[in-house]
Structure 1
Amino acid sequence: MESTKPSATELTLMKALWRQSPLSAREVHERVAPELQWSFSSTRKTLDRMLDKALIRAGEVHGIKVFSAAQSKVQTLAALAKDFSRTVLEVKGPLPVAMFADSALLSPDEIEDLERLLEANDHD
């Protein structure tokens, strides 16, 4: 089963959760507010939608509802890169992993994992 691809705003929330998890809705909001510039209620609604789409999981810590990413960063980014390259750029061959080399989001090990995923998925 293919994982659900997050929207641009959902991806912003997922990046916050990949950096640190679990986080309460308020903590997620504090991390994404400078970029998204929206209300706390918008963050809550987006988190609820992401739960419905199984992009994130909810739990409880000290009586507070907290969230964590349900999909791995590398798998999500591989799916997004593959989708973009195929549907937008119409690239048929292997994807260039070099485009991720200067990413602040990925460690060198994660870039290697991403390369393996993209090569493995090249035959899809």
Structure 2
Amino acid sequence: MSIPSVTELTLLKCLWRQHPLSARELHEQAEPELHWSYSSTRKTLERMVEKNMVTLHAVHGVNVYTAALDKIETLAGFARDFGRRVMEMDEPLPVNMFTGSKLVNHAELAELEQLLHDWPDGRQ
């Protein structure tokens, strides 16, 4: 699995919270964090569709987007990448570092812990 960029992750987090969303709705939700133009949001979404990170559908004549990447698998990939590349750890990060996250609930924490421990061959 490829790891989304920070800006791609921002858009994915919006879609994991609520979906489907139009490009305008995504821009309005992500703009306080990204501080960029609507055209930048649209261009990023186009690239994310090409990378199969999001899906695009027309609803009542409006293009809307839905996350194609699973939230927990994506977060596990980020955690493994951070642990390995940044912290130079061979073992998975402890799941308690995600406690208090607004992005995952208790059941998702358990799933995340399992994914971190069962990562195939310890590779991304």
Short-chain TM bin = over 0.9
Output the amino acid matched with 2:67. A
Helix, strand or coil: the match of 1:59? strand
Structure 1: 5+ residue stretches without partners: none
Aligned to 1:12: 10
Aligned to 2:77: 79
Query: 1:4 touches 1:53 (CA, 8 Å); kept in 2?
Result: no
Aligned to 1:54: 52
Aligned to 2:42: 44
Quote the Cα distance in structure 2 between the aligned partners of 1:108 and 1:46. 31
Q: Which of these residues, 63, 68, 71, is aligned with residue 65 of structure 1?
A: 63
Output the amino acid matched with 2:10. T
Aligned to 1:100: 98
Output the amino acid matched with 1:10. E
Q: Which of these residues, 19, 24, 36, is aligned with residue 21 of structure 1?
A: 19
TM-score, normalised to structure 1, is 0.94
Output the amino acid matched with 1:9. T
TM-score, normalised to structure 2, is 0.94
Percent of residue pairs bearing the same amino acid type: 52
Quote the Cα distance in structure 1 between the aligned partners of 2:59 and 2:92. 43
State the Cα distance separating 1:123 from its structure 2 match.
3.9
Q: Paired residues, what number?
A: 122
Deviation sequence 1:90-121 (CA, Å, 0-9, x none): 10123210100010111111111100101111
Quote the Cα distance in structure 2 between the aligned partners of 1:70 and 1:79. 15
Aligned to 1:119: 117
State the Cα distance separating 1:122 from its structure 2 match.
6.6
> Deviating runs (4+, > 2 A) in structure 1?
none
Deviation sequence 1:28-82 (CA, Å, 0-9, x none): 0010011111110000001011111111111111111100100111000000110
